[in-house]
Chain A
C-alpha cells in the first residue's frame, strides 16, 4: 500500500474467544492507586 502503513497486527477479536481467565493483575485505574489503564497490563494466561 502506498498511502497507509499498518503498524500492528490487530488481534483483539481473537483474544475475546480465549480470554477472561482472570490470571492477570487487577487494574485500578484511579489516580490514587496502581494507576494502570487496562491497556498497559500484561496478559498472564500462558504463564
Chain B
C-alpha cells in the first residue's frame, strides 16, 4: 500500500507495509497515479502517452525504472504479510494497569470524560486494601513480563495521595520477590501539588502527566474549580516547580486538550513552550457531537491547517537550535516498535486493564462504568477471560477500515473506547479521529523527511 502527499513544498511517498519513506519529484508523484505491480520491462505506452503532455518521454521512462527498482528492493508497493503475526501472538500476560485511585476531582472541567471525576458512579476513594489486591493481581498475571506499568489516575489522584504512597511502598517491596520492575506514572491537574508531593513524585514516578490546556484564557474556560474560577495561575506555578526539580532522565509532559473553542491550538502549544515546557502534548477533545465544545466534521479543514502551522513552528524552533518535543509529531521511522506491537496498539483488555475504587476491573480507564465490559472484581476474585479474549482479537486485521488504511502501522487501529463510544463497536474506526490522526502523521513524517534530507 502506497500513500503519497504534498506538504510544505515536498512530495512524500510512504510505503506502508515496509515503512519506507521517499521524497520524490513531481514526475514520480504523478507517475505513481498510473502504475502499479506487476511491472513491465519498460514503461507502458498508454502511460507514456498520458504523461507526455506534461513531461519529457525520456524522463518518464527513467522514472518508471526508478519505481521498478524500489519495488524490487521491496520498499515500494511491498506486500502486507503481517496478518499471520496477528493470529499467532494473541493472548498476552497483563503488564500494565491504570489505578483509578480517586473517583473524585477538585476541578470541574467541562469536557471531562469521567463526568467530573466520579465516572457516573458516585465519589469514592480507593482504599489501600484494594490497591494491594490490584498490585498482587498484576504481579500474578504478568507472566514473564519484567516491566510492569502502574498509572495513578482518577479523578484526581492527589486527592488520595496517602494511599498512592502506601501502594508505591507495597509494590516496591513485592517487585523484588517477583524479580520485576514497577514503573509508576501519575496524571494530575496540579491543584494539590505541594513540596512534599513533588518530592515523592519526582523520586518514585518514572513519568508525570501534567494537565493544562495552554493559554490562560483557554485553560480557564474549560478547566474550572467548583466555584467557576480558573485554575491556570495556581497550576502553572506548581508545574514549573515540579519540572524544575525533576531529574533530567525522568519523563514528564504537559498535556492539554483543544476543543471547538480553540482551533488555533498551535498558540496553546507555543504558550506552553514559552512558559518553559518543552515536552508537550495537546490533543483533540473526544466528545458527544451534541456538546457545544465538541469537534465536528466541519472543523477538520481548520484543524488540518493548524497542524501545518504548528509543524512550521516546530521546524522554526529546530532551525534556531531549540528543542521542543510535540508528542504527536514524534515518530521514529527507523527504530520504532516492532510490527507485532503495531498490530494492536494500546492492548486494552488484553495486556492493560483499569481498576476502580470498588475493585472492579475494566479493559481500560475509558471503559470504566460500561457494565458489559466489566471484566471482574478484585474482592470477589473474579476475572472474565472471554472479555480478555475478545479484546486480544481486536487487531488491525479484524478492523475493516484499518485493514485497508495506509496509517495502520502507525495508528494501530485507533482507540477501542472511542470506536465503541462513537462508532458503535471497538472494531469500527471512528472516522473523525482517523482523519485527525492521519493529518498528524503526515506532518510528523514531513518533519522527519526535512531533518533526514538535511543530514
Contact = CB atoms under 8 A, between A and B. Distances in A.
Contacts, number: 203
5 contacts: A7-B23, A19-B85, A25-B149, A27-B346, A37-B437
A39 B342 CA distance: 8
Contact of B75 (A2, A6, A16, A20): A6
B19 A8 contact: yes
Interface string A1-44: 11111111111110110111011111111111111111111111
Q: 8 closest A-B pairs (Cβ-Cβ)?
A: A19-B338, A20-B340, A10-B20, A26-B96, A16-B339, A19-B340, A10-B18, A15-B338
Contact of A20 (B27, B89, B284, B412): B89
B147 A23 contact: yes
B323 interface: no
A8 B149 contact: no
A26 B95 contact: yes
B131 to A, nearest CB: 19
A22 B93 contact: yes
B137 to A, nearest CB: 16
A10 B75 contact: yes
B366 interface: yes
B283 interface: yes
A10 B336 contact: no
A4 B330 contact: no
A43 B18 contact: no
A12 to B, nearest CB: 4
A27 to B, nearest CB: 6
Given A19-B85, A38-B336, A39-B342, 9 more contacts: A1-B66, A8-B334, A10-B74, A15-B339, A27-B345, A31-B286, A38-B410, A39-B410, A39-B444
Given A12-B409, A13-B74, A38-B341, A32 B366 contact: yes
Interface stretch (B40-48, B169-177, B296-304, B347-355): B347-355
A4 B66 contact: yes
A13 B338 contact: no
A9 to B, nearest CB: 6
Q: How large is the interface on B (under 10, 10 to 19, 20 to 34, 35 or more residues)?
A: 35 or more
Contacts of A45: 338
Contacts of A44: 147
A32 B452 contact: no
Contact of A28 (B18, B95, B285, B348): B348
Interface string B75-99: 1001001100100010011011010
A38 B338 contact: no
Given A4-B28, A7-B452, A10-B75, A43 B95 contact: no
Contact of A37 (B20, B81, B328): B328
Contacts of B417: 30
A10 B19 contact: yes
A26 B149 contact: yes
B17 A12 contact: yes
A4 B22 contact: yes
Contacts of A22: 92-93, 95, 145, 351
Contacts of A26: 95-96, 149, 346-347, 351-352
A22 B112 CA distance: 31
Nearest to A24: B337
A9 B281 CA distance: 28
A20 to B, nearest CB: 3
